[in-house]
Structure 1
Amino acid sequence: MHDTRAYEAETDGIVVRVRPSYLAGQSDPDAGRWVWAYQVEIVNLTGVPVQLMARRWVITDARGHVEEVRGPGVIGEQPTIKPGESYAYASGCPLGTASGSMVGGYSMIDATGRTFEAAIPAFSLDVPGDRRVLN
């Protein structure tokens, strides 16, 4: 696994940090398969608890093929994050090209019943040593 820098976005006091890593051991470029892991940290800087209800990802490969993924929660959970606390998880993404990008949002609801989408920053999926798609 190769560590890369974190990408970060803040929406209404919710900070989302993503750190992608290329998984050379799970990738098979000769078969057209490149795999990345990404670690996500969601920090609640608001004064009330928030719950992550759903996710939306837009995944784009180097050929411009776009796949949208939606679903409840993340990794089978709909975590509640208390003020000043964070929630972290890891997941992965295979691509049919050696580079691509991901971006998205988390549907959140706070303790007052307000719903909003916390932005997931756009981040680049690049094989180490190759040209970066996003800076």
Structure 2
Amino acid sequence: MVIAVTSGIQVSVEVTYQSEFSSPHQHHFVFTYKVTIENKSNQTVQLLRRRWEISDAAEVRKIVEGDGVVGQQPILEPGESHSYVSGCNLKSGLGKMKGIYYMEKLFDGNKFDVVIPEFQLIASYFQN
């Protein structure tokens, strides 16, 4: 698990290689990741957008941007958390991801960026 804290917002990520959905001989590697966003600040915040940088050993870096996370734009009161699971396909069994959540403080409308810490995508047979 990797963890980063920005402006009182903690982001932690756990990665799982999905061997049953992967086909290494066809250069298809599937990973899932669980993200937990915890509001450790004293203000209510909303996640508006996200931007991912995905690097694959077999190809050039990809940028993925969009509204919210898995169709939601969660509002987090102080002390609350939001978790979700998503996935990523790579052409190799080695890669990494990192990113930014674009958030807003609901009290004053100030927008701020929250770091999504870089995490490794490594197919399990590379770890043996």
Instruction: Bin the TM-score by the shorter chain.
Output: over 0.9
Q: In 2, distance between residues paired with 1:60 and 1:79? A: 27
Match among 44, 53, 56 for residue 49 of structure 1: 44
Q: In 1, distance between residues paired with 2:78 and 2:42? A: 5
Q: In 2, distance between residues paired with 1:81 and 1:129? A: 38
Letter in 2 for 1:123: F
* Percent pairwise identity: 40
Q: Which runs of 5+ in 2 are unaligned?
A: none
Normalized per residue, which structure has more strand? 2
Partner residue in 1 for 2:12: 17
Deviation at residue 63 of structure 1 after TM alignment: 3.2
Q: Is 1:99 the counterpart of 2:94 in the alignment? A: yes
Match among 63, 81, 86 for residue 86 of structure 1: 81
Q: Within 5 A, what are the aligned runs for 1:57-72? A: 57-63=52-58, 65-72=60-67
SS across alignment from 1:100 = strand
Q: In 1, distance between residues paired with 2:93 and 2:42? A: 42
Normalised by the length of structure 2, the TM-score is 0.95
Match among 108, 115, 122 for residue 111 of structure 2: 115
Normalised by the length of structure 1, the TM-score is 0.90
Q: In 2, distance between residues paired with 1:129 and 1:19? A: 18
Q: Which runs of 5+ in 1 are unaligned?
A: 1-5
Q: In 2, distance between residues paired with 1:32 and 1:64? A: 11
